[in-house]
Structure 1
Amino acid sequence: MRMRRVLLHVVVLLLASFSVPRVAESSVRCKAWLVQSIPTDMPELPRISGVLSTGDVFQWLANNSTRSLDIIAQYWQLLANPKDPRSGDFGYSDSDLLRFGAHIGSLVYKSIDNAANRNVNIRLLSHSGVYPDYTKEPSDLAYGRSNVENVTLLLSKWWGSGIVHAKVWISDGRDVYIGSANNDWKSLTQVKEVGIYLSGCSRIARKIRTYFDNLWRLASLDSSMHTRNVSDQQWLINRTVPCWSHFIPKKERCRSPLPNYIETPNVSPGYPSLSDPEMFSIKIETLPGNHSCPQPQPSYLSFAPPELLFGKHQSDEQGWVDTIKSVVEGGTLRINTMDWLGQSQYTNPKVYWASLSSAVSEVVFAKNAKVKILVAYWGHFIDATDGYLRSLLYSNVLCSSSYVQNTCSGQVEIRYYMVPGFNKTGPAVRNGTKTGNKYPDYTRVNHGKYAVSDVRAHIGTSNLVWDYFFATSGVSFGTYNTKIVLTLQEIFDADWNSPYVVPVQEFKQDH
């Protein structure tokens, strides 16, 4: 009898120990905060209550990780390089860097280093092909540590062009950052960035980690064995794609070697839009101001390029188009991007790409929507942008023209966002001579990529150029969560109404 009681006691203890993680997991609510970086020296830009800073969020993700930390980055420069002549930081003094906020990047780097010292399993995935020092930091973090893995991936070997451009952090398979901020100190204090921080959202984190795993697997494969040159009938060019791409006739495709992959009916060349893409019905608590148990509102993930899709997740292009078309009758759509180009940027020959422009014109005509588009104007502005934006403005002429007998009342309004100092960026010294630049290179720019209608928010990592949707890695989070929608509208409106914007029709005015 005594032995039986002892055995029963052991069984009870074992069952209790097994149930603890499940109880703890279920008690964690999915919470969300919008995140942004605001460049220094912008005193007239209002701050939005409840929006977190990117530097703080990156540190929290690393400092709170106990088991795993996965990071996708285009490149790394969390530590300033004022003594490297190849760097855009070259020649700036210690006091300059302090004023610029470069120390925030050092704190983020240290938080990752501390996580590695705690024996957290860390995987770092970034683009290869940028000048060598841009992969030095992840290499240093991995050196001599069995718990830190570092890989680089050159997507141009798989798609003929393109890069690893997603900016994603995943901590302990439950906390996530998705947004526009690079692993660069300048992205924390010298570039306008927008993202979202999801905490305790293990279901969403697992899906994003699947995408990470697909990229990780791609880095270990021989691209020459898994790519084909095809005549792309959707985009009317010859290009390189993975051999499992739907741009290849079905009988000629290979089996995907990725851990997770989507198989959809190929009703047309390429990847058809999903009629019912997967939505998460998850209660997302938004703080501050929402401490009650919220009702579930649909959220979703979208990914690029299409060959990396899995499950029933939609392509990133579809995520953007569907968000544009979600605007209500007579409502307002807001779009924020660094680049807007109705074509490809890096392919030869170029691809004409009207997907987003057509969607905007459609809602202007069909829904009488007001569309506000904010585009960055900075030191590395793409010259062709102005022409494409002006052509989009012609929708206003057609919409209101009595000659073509239209009765729509929609409107497109476009403004350039010029961060102060955008035309004074670059190294402080070049060939031993002071340049007169006031800020490091590749700074003073509005870099966020998002769209928000009256009912739906879409926060991504891709510039609005063809290459970013069909040859470049990107991740977006979208939601109908009312608080997230309203807060993202506030962020946009603060920029839109700031003194740092200029209407496109008044900029580079034709004479």
Structure 2
Amino acid sequence: MAGPTTQEPVKTQQKCIAIFALLCCFAVLVALIFSSVDIWGDDEDGITEENCSRDCRIVLVENIPGDLFLPVDGRPHLPLSDGFHTLLDQAKHSVEVVSPVWDLNSWDLETMPSTAKQGQLLFQRLLSLKSRGVKLKIASSLTNSAELKTLAAHNAEVHFVNMTALTRGGLHSSFIIVDRKHIYIGSADMDWRSLSKRKELGVVVYNCSCLALDLHRVFSFYWQLHERDYIPSIWSKRVTALYGKNDALELQLNTTHATAYFSTSPELFCSKDRTRDVDAIYQVIQSAKKFIFISVTDYLPLVNRRFRGTSVTRYWSPIDEVIREAVVLRGIRVRLLISFWKKTHPLTFNFATSLKSLCMQLHNCSLEVRFFSHREQKDDIQHGLNHNKYMVTDNAFYIGNHDWVGSDFAVNAGVGLVIQMENSLKDRGVTILEHVKAVFERDWRSRYAKNLQGSKDHQGKYRNLQQVKIHEETKEENEWNSPLSL
């Protein structure tokens, strides 16, 4: 009988090598999955798409500084500070917060203005969550915040999102989730100015665990980036979007049928199935049938990036182009209310003039631009600054964390909420759309909403901001030179 050939040990050895290689690949895959997300650390409190609540109540919250005199429209809106406290009153298990700024407690309680004490009170309310057995979680890009250190010393968990390493941008997101049932999203930060000196707008949604669960997944995305300098390529299903522009959540808002979903930016921060902010804005504008009202602090369709020490600026077209299409091709009435303040970029006036010129000598064309201006801008407190970031149409409402500046959407983290109604405004009665529309029209007709006049020199370049004039459309037109400077 012939003995074993020399090929058999070789084949056996090759099989062993192949099996070992497969095991190594499997181990690496498992390691990647477990290194990128904390799969076991979050059970979402047993709330699922199947058992979550869709019968929700939504409330508009505003901060209107005491020195802004706006006409009363007969629609009482909940003050922002009351909205925050009411929201925290609901907390039984958890509060999750994302804010670009933490500056609630920077004044001495005895010497600060009475209007600024709301920040101190909110900070104390956050500190008291520990005594109630409520877990406070905060995602932030701030590395040296005294307030976050104080909250961490009182049992809060704080995770650091290194935006500089991830996108070279900032964390602009501003939202709160309570017990994964109630939420706030809007323009206000955890800043005493947002509760006193700045004009802010947001919404609080109660008993809406389906919507809160999806926002919690955005929070989880930030949470799992803790101290990372890269965005993992593999993610758990726990950060996958539940709803988007093509499969929005169907729900009841104050007994009215609606759909809703969250969008995020930048694109790198869009987990699987998550709609980009720019796509959400595009959809809302495209779905408008009659009007589009936009209120933002800044409007600038440009992206500025640094590459190898050189600053490169380019036109950023997505929002600017879809507005132009809506006005010229579909005959939609557009009003754009922009804040005029010390950080307004001079090119804002060029783009505003360009938009307004679209309707010259065109019938059934309406595009108006006004600037919300309050003269007191001292000590960087931003008195009366219109910090709103929203859009309302005849059938939808979008509120976000970004100004409509290309660079914000390209590199800064933000979240937007889209709410769409099926029927027309006249068929629905008083809804959240009616409330937001009334707020916009109140601001638009106020003494602070002014038209723009600019002048060019013989070389076709705009003079500096001190030569940009704003005038108010009243019986006695009042013009003055802007004191702003870059």
TM normalised by structure 1 equals: 0.72
Residue number in structure 1 paired with 2:150 = 140
Residue 504 of structure 1: how far off its partner (Å): 2.0
Residue number in structure 1 paired with 2:200 = 193
Q: Which of 341, 344, 367 is the matching residue for 1:412?
A: 367
Residue 141 of structure 1: how far off its partner (Å): 1.1
Q: Aligned pair in 2 of structure 1 residues 421, 317: CA closer, same or farther (>3 Å)?
A: same
CA distance in 2, matches of 1:26, 1:447: 33
Q: How does 1:279-428 map to 2 (within 5 A)?
A: 279-285=248-254, 294-328=255-289, 331-345=290-304, 347=306, 348-397=311-360, 400=361, 408-422=363-377, 425-426=378-379
Q: Which of 87, 93, 97 is the matching residue for 1:71?
A: 97
Q: How many residues align?
A: 398
Residue 262 of structure 1: how far off its partner (Å): 7.0
Q: Aligned pair in 2 of structure 1 residues 296, 350: CA closer, same or farther (>3 Å)?
A: same
Amino acid at match of 2:388: G
Residue number in structure 1 paired with 2:459 = none
Q: Aligned pair in 2 of structure 1 residues 492, 209: CA closer, same or farther (>3 Å)?
A: same
CA distance in 2, matches of 1:104, 1:358: 41
Deviating beyond 6 angstroms after TM superposition, the runs of 4 or more aligned structure 1 residues are 25-28
Q: Which of 450, 466, 469 is the matching residue for 1:502?
A: 450
Q: How does 1:163-178 map to 2 (within 5 A)?
A: 163-178=170-185
CA distance in 2, matches of 1:71, 1:358: 34
Q: What per-residue deviation string (whole Å, max 9, x for no partner) do you get for residues 242-282 of structure 1? A: 5x7xxxxxxxxx4457953479xxxxxxxxxx8x5231110
Q: Secondary structure in 2 aligned to 1:219?
A: coil
The answer to whether 1:156 aligns with 2:183 is: no
Q: Aligned pair in 2 of structure 1 residues 56, 262: CA closer, same or farther (>3 Å)?
A: closer
Residue number in structure 2 paired with 1:51 = 77
CA distance in 1, matches of 2:305, 2:121: 35
Residue number in structure 2 paired with 1:430 = none
Residue number in structure 1 paired with 2:132 = 118
Residue 106 of structure 1: how far off its partner (Å): 1.2
Q: Secondary structure in 1 aligned to 2:68?
A: coil
Residue number in structure 1 paired with 2:475 = none
Unaligned runs of 5+ residues in structure 2 are 1-46, 422-427, 455-466, 471-480, 482-486
Q: Aligned pair in 2 of structure 1 residues 62, 149: CA closer, same or farther (>3 Å)?
A: same
The answer to whether 1:450 aligns with 2:400 is: no
CA distance in 2, matches of 1:37, 1:192: 5
Larger Rg: 2
Q: Aligned pair in 2 of structure 1 residues 346, 338: CA closer, same or farther (>3 Å)?
A: farther
Amino acid at match of 1:152: F
Residue 151 of structure 1: how far off its partner (Å): 2.2
Residue 61 of structure 1: how far off its partner (Å): 2.0
CA distance in 1, matches of 2:76, 2:198: 20
Residue number in structure 1 paired with 2:58 = 32
CA distance in 2, matches of 1:333, 1:48: 23
Q: Which of 228, 239, 256 is the matching residue for 1:260?
A: 239
Q: Which of 109, 115, 118 is the matching residue for 1:104?
A: 118
CA distance in 2, matches of 1:466, 1:498: 28
CA distance in 1, matches of 2:191, 2:71: 22
Q: What per-residue deviation string (whole Å, max 9, x for no partner) do you get for residues 309-336 of structure 1? A: 23533110111111122221xx221000
Q: Secondary structure in 1 aligned to 2:303?
A: coil
Q: Aligned pair in 2 of structure 1 residues 183, 351: CA closer, same or farther (>3 Å)?
A: same
Residue 412 of structure 1: how far off its partner (Å): 1.1
Q: Aligned pair in 2 of structure 1 residues 116, 419: CA closer, same or farther (>3 Å)?
A: farther
Q: Secondary structure in 1 aligned to 2:415?
A: strand
CA distance in 2, matches of 1:346, 1:454: 36
CA distance in 2, matches of 1:157, 1:257: 22
Q: Aligned pair in 2 of structure 1 residues 495, 154: CA closer, same or farther (>3 Å)?
A: same
Unaligned runs of 5+ residues in structure 1 are 1-20, 84-92, 227-241, 245-253, 264-273, 286-293, 402-407, 427-439
Q: Aligned pair in 2 of structure 1 residues 201, 50: CA closer, same or farther (>3 Å)?
A: farther
Q: Secondary structure in 2 aligned to 1:459?
A: strand
Residue number in structure 2 paired with 1:10 = none
Residue number in structure 2 paired with 1:209 = 216
The answer to whether 1:62 aligns with 2:88 is: yes
Q: Secondary structure in 2 aligned to 1:208?
A: helix
